[in-house]
């Protein structure tokens, strides 16, 4: 009896702690939602439970002639899609070569990737700015895409290579005996079998432009070319409290779709990361 | 069928090819190949000679006439030249090796492959290079070149008062590093920022790992129901884009009208200067990072916990092990072994976690007697030095120090991966 009672207290305590975590997690998120539904634009007058619910900020984002929100959404989608497609392509090519072929510089290349993924891109910002300036790609979405695609290679090439390594070599040998060439093996064996990890890479690179604000804020100058993160940041960066409710509304419209996609796919993310991480 | 020709010397072929690509191949009587190589090398020289010449000159002198020579562009051209030359050198070495192989074959009187065969050979051998080249070129110009540029800047005198095109830059050796640890304001700033960076990395990361592990263990308990739902909610902070949550937290922690002071702490009659007192800003940052970072660790550990075989625990039960003993000797080793590299990456990530520092309070509040904010870590200080005060040389020097520390993490990863033998089979 005593033991059963002890176990019950334990379970209750566990639930209590989990409930506490729920509150800690939910509070800022609910607070953001309620901010976005508050009338007025200031943080000061807003309250957690608004006296009058309003969708005026959402309406403003989509209908006001001063709002560039839809344009930013379009820019972000464009950068995200281009980044996802190009990143998967370049990364898969590199990972295939590193996983299946012997060539001079292979080991060096692998180590190079490992070292480079440790270095934050911020350290290279000045040079990237000057380089883009020289190439006349400053203030251009393509310039941004170029940097994203190049910068993701060290990390993702490593990840995808790790996954390719787990695909049995007997499969590509069999295909070669059946007369498949280098491209044949790549397109008909490796790519279809590596779909899960390629999906992970595509997803990572699709989401990155929505949430990254540092690089676009350095590369992009013209408000017409802003991505969502930069645009939203500008709502609150100059006059802090003034447009917070509008910022909240705009943020929720990015965060909600990303969070939903993410929750559906997080299991694959985790398995992809651990596969690449431990197989190395 | 060619006959064996003992007088044919591989050394001569190699020397000729060293002199100019293709000559050794001509000596080997591989005329088509030789001519092809000559044309390639000649066009390379014609195309790049001027560029490389100016580039190397620029790299050494950084320009000679102010207003006319732009040191920064010269420096970049110089670095590009170095990369191109490295590439060319690699090809040239391949050409010499090719000349030697062909010469040996002629010496022994072996038949040469036909043009078609050698084409197919080149396709098979060269194939991985074709696959790697596009990505490699991007990597070189977008990642490696900027890093080299940064390294070079650390040894120049490039700052606000000394910037092209009005002034030329000079190589100053280790001057910047010396200044960093000898000029009082730099010295005090550097060491206080470094100390906080280390505290930040260790405390914030350890807290997020500890919380993630603790929650993963709790939720994994067989007596707990609604596991899927609980896990989904616990992962939410990871799913919401970090820049949104950090900005929201920045508003919530606002001293005067933030929700934390107004709605939560007012219940206890407290009001904490979150944004104006460095100590409390640091506390807030660590709390927020824990909130942001634990879900990843939680998800990771949950996956590993589910894969530990029940047999281990049953055997332990038979031996009468306590819960703590089971955790210490079964759970923890399993979990840590499977996730160590990713956990190390968490430390490396927080070491350079620019976003949270910059977005929360821009490294502030300001502190007397140093030129970084009270909560600036090295990387956000570098950002400030670069984009606000234009102290490019010092920013680069500090970046280089960050790079050295980060390499420490990289070496750890090396040693883990070396145990795995990865070999290509073609």
Dihedral (CA of B222, B227, B228, B232) sign? negative
Q: What is the DSSP string of A85-126?
A: HHHHHHHHHHHHHHHH---TTHHHHHHHHHHHTTS-GGGGHH
Question: A177 and chain B: CB distance < 8 Å anywhere?
Answer: no
Note whether residue B1 is domain-resident: no
CA distance B77 to B143: 16
pLDDT, one tens digit per residue, over B224-281 is 888 889 988 998 998 888 888 999 999 889 887 788 888 788 888 888 888 889 999 9
Task: Assess whether B122 and B202 both reside in one domain.
Answer: no
Q: Which of B85, B119, B153 is the last residue of a domain?
A: B153
CB A196 within 8 A of CB A82: no
Contacts of A229 in chain B (CB under 8 A): 241, 243
Q: Tell me which of B153, B168, B199 is where a domain ends.
A: B153
Residue B127 lies in a domain: yes
Cα nearest neighbour of B297 on chain A:
A270
What span, in angstroms and rounded, lies between the C-alpha atoms of A146 and B378? 27
Residues B357 and B216 in one domain: yes
Model confidence over A13-31: pLDDT tens digits? 999 999 999 999 999 999 8
Check whether residue B386 and residue B262 sit in a common domain. yes
Q: Is the peptide bond before A134 cis (omega within 30 degrees of 0)?
A: no
Among A29-33, A37-41, A152-156, the range scoring the smallest mean pLDDT is: A37-41
For the cut 60, the answer to whether the pLDDT of residue B114 exceeds it is yes
CA-based nearest distance A210→chain B, Å: 8
Does B89 share its domain with B222? no
Structure tokens at B414: 């090396």
The CATH number assigned to the domain holding B333 equals 1.10.3720.10
Q: What is the mean pLDDT of residues B282-287?
A: 95
Given pLDDT bands bounded at 50, 70 and 90, which one contains residue B421?
Answer: very low
Q: How far is it, in rounded angstroms, from Cα B393 to Cα B383? A: 12
Question: What confidence tier does B209 reach under pLDDT thresholds 50, 70, 90?
Answer: very high
DSSP string, B169-206: --B-TTHHHHHHHHSHHHHHHHHHHHHHHHHHHHHHHH
Q: Answer yes or no: do B105 and B193 share one domain.
A: no
Q: Please list, residue by residue across B156-187, b when 16 or more beta carbons sit within 10 angstroms of its beta carbon and e when fewer do.
A: bbbbeebebeebbbbeeeebbbebbeeeeebe
Task: Please judge whether B341 and A280 are an interchain contact, meaning their C-beta atoms are less than 8 angstroms apart.
Answer: yes
Closest to B399 (Cα-Cα) out of B177, B142, B138: B177
How far is it, in rounded angstroms, from Cα A266 to Cα A85?
Answer: 20
Query: Angle at which helices B242-252 and B354-361 pack, to 10 degrees?
Result: 30
CA distance A139 to chain B (A): 17
The contacts found for B177-186 with CB under 8 angstroms, 24 or more apart, are B177/B397, B179/B394, B180/B394, B180/B397, B180/B398, B185/B369, B185/B370, B185/B371, B186/B371, B186/B394
* pLDDT tens by residue, A157-195: 888 888 888 888 888 888 888 888 888 888 888 899 888
Are both B139 and B225 inside the same structural domain?
no
Q: How many CB pairs below 8 A link A and B?
A: 261
Check whether residue B134 and residue B236 sit in a common domain.
Answer: no
In a shared domain, residues B188 and B144: no
- pLDDT value for A195: 86
Same domain, B299 and B336: yes
Residue B158 inside a domain? The answer is no
In a domain, B162, yes or no: no
Chain mean pLDDT for chain B: 87
Q: Is residue B305 part of a domain?
A: yes
Q: Are residues B283 and B375 in the same domain?
A: yes
Query: What's the average model confidence in pLDDT over B189-216?
Result: 95
**B82-98 pLDDT, tens digit each:** 999 998 998 899 889 98
Cβ within 8 Å of residue A278, ≥6 positions away:
B338, B341
Model confidence at A240: pLDDT above 60 = no
Distances (CA, A) of A28 to A41, B137, B252, B331: 18, 44, 8, 33
pLDDT at A87 over 80: yes
Contact B256, B273 (CB under 8 A): no
Measure CB to CB from residue A120 to each of B237, B354, B387 and give the nearest one.
B354
B123, B256: one domain:
no
pLDDT higher than 90, residue A234: no
Q: Is residue B159 part of a domain?
A: no
pLDDT at A278 over 50: no
CB contact A62 to B (< 8 Å)? no
Give the pLDDT of residue B129: 87
A118-122, A201-205, B201-205, B316-320: least confident range: A118-122
Could you tell me if residue B164 is inside a domain? no
How far, in Å, CA of B160 to CA of A227, rounded? 30
B33: in domain: yes
CA B143 to chain centroid, in Å, comes to 8
Our count of domains for chain B comes to 2
Q: Show the 3-state SS of B101-125.
A: HHHHHHHHCCCCCCHHHHHHHHHHH
3-state secondary structure of B423: coil
Q: What is residue B419's predicted lDDT score, i.e. its pLDDT? A: 43
Do B326 and B231 share a structural domain?
A: yes
- For chain A positions 140-169, those within 8 Å of chain B (CB to CB) are 146-147, 149-151, 153-154, 157, 165, 169
Q: What is the ipTM of this complex?
A: 0.85
Q: Which of B75, B131, B145 to mutate to test the interface with A (most CBs of A within 10 A)?
A: B131
The boundaries of the domain holding residue B224 are: 176-418
Q: Tell me how far apart the alpha carbons of residues B379 and A190 are, in angstroms, rounded to a whole number.
A: 39
């Amino acid at each position: 009896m005593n033991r059963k009672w002890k176990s019950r207290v334990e379970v209750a305590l566990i639930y209590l702690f989990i409930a506490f975590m729920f509150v800690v997690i939910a509070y800022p998120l609910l607070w953001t939602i309620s901010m976005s539904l508050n009338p007025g634009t200031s943080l000061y007058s807003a309250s957690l439970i608004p006296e009058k619910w309003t969708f005026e900020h959402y309406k403003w984002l989509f209908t006001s002639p001063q709002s560039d929100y839809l344009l930013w959404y379009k820019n972000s989608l464009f950068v995200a899609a281009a980044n996802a497609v190009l990143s998967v392509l370049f990364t898969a090519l590199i990972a295939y070569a590193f996983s299946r072929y012997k060539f001079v510089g292979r080991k060096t290349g692998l180590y190079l990737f490992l070292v480079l993924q440790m270095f934050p891109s911020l350290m290279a910002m000045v040079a990237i700015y000057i380089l883009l300036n020289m190439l006349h790609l400053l203030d251009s979405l393509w310039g941004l895409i170029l940097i994203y695609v190049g910068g993701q290679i060290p990390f993702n090439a490593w990840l995808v290579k790790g996954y390719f390594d787990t695909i049995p070599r007997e499969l590509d040998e069999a295909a070669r005996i059946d007369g498949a060439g280098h491209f044949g093996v790549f397109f008909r064996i490796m790519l279809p079998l590596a779909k899960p990890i390629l999906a992970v890479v595509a997803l990572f690179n699709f989401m990155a432009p929505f949430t990254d604000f540092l690089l676009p804020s350095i590369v992009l100058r013209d408000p017409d070319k802003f991505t969502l993160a930069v645009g939203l940041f500008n709502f609150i960066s100059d006059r802090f409290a003034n447009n917070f409710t509008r910022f909240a509304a705009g943020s929720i419209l990015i965060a909600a779709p990303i969070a939903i996609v993410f929750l559906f796919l997080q299991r694959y993310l985790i398995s992809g990361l651990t596969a690449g991480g431990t197989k190395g | 069928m060619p006959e064996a020709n003992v007088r044919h010397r591989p050394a001569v072929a190699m020397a000729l090819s060293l002199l100019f690509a293709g000559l050794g191949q001509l000596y080997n009587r591989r005329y088509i190949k030789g001519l092809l190589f000559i044309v390639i090398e000649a066009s390379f020289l014609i195309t790049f000679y001027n560029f490389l010449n100016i580039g190397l000159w620029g790299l050494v002198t950084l320009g000679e006439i102010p207003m006319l020579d732009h040191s920064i562009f010269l420096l970049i051209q110089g670095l590009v030249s170095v990369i191109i030359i490295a590439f060319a050198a690699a090809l040239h070495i391949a050409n010499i090796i090719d000349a030697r192989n062909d010469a040996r074959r002629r010496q022994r009187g072996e038949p040469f492959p036909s043009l078609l065969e050698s084409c197919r050979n080149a396709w098979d051998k060269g194939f991985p290079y074709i696959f790697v080249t596009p990505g490699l070129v991007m990597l070189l110009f977008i990642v490696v070149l900027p890093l080299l540029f940064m390294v070079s800047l650390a040894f120049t005198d490039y700052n606000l008062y000394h910037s092209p095109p009005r002034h030329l830059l000079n190589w100053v050796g280790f001057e910047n590093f010396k200044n960093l640890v000898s000029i009082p304001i730099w010295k005090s700033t550097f060491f206080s920022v470094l100390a906080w960076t280390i505290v930040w990395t260790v405390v914030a990361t350890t807290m997020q790992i500890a919380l993630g592990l603790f929650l993963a263990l709790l939720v994994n308990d067989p007596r707990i129901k609604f596991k899927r739902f609980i896990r989904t909610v616990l992962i939410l902070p990871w799913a919401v884009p970090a820049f949104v949550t950090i900005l929201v937290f920045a508003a919530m922690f606002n001293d005067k009208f933030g929700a934390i002071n107004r709605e939560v702490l007012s219940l206890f009659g407290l009001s904490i200067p979150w944004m104006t007192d460095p100590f409390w800003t640091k506390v807030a940052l660590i709390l927020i990072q824990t909130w942001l970072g634990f879900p990843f660790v939680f998800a990771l550990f949950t996956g590993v916990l589910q894969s530990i075989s029940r047999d281990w625990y049953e055997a332990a039960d038979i031996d009468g092990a306590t819960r703590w003993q089971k955790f210490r000797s079964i759970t923890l080793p399993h979990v840590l072994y499977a996730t160590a590299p990713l956990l190390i990456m968490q430390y490396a990530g927080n070491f350079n976690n620019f976003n949270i520092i910059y977005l929360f309070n821009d490294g502030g509040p300001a502190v007397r007697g140093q030129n970084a904010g009270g909560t600036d870590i090295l990387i956000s200080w570098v950002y400030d030095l670069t984009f606000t005060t234009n102290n490019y040389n010092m920013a680069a020097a500090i970046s280089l120090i960050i790079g050295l520390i980060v390499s420490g993490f990289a070496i750890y990863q090396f040693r883990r991966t070396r145990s795995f033998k990865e070999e290509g089979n073609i």
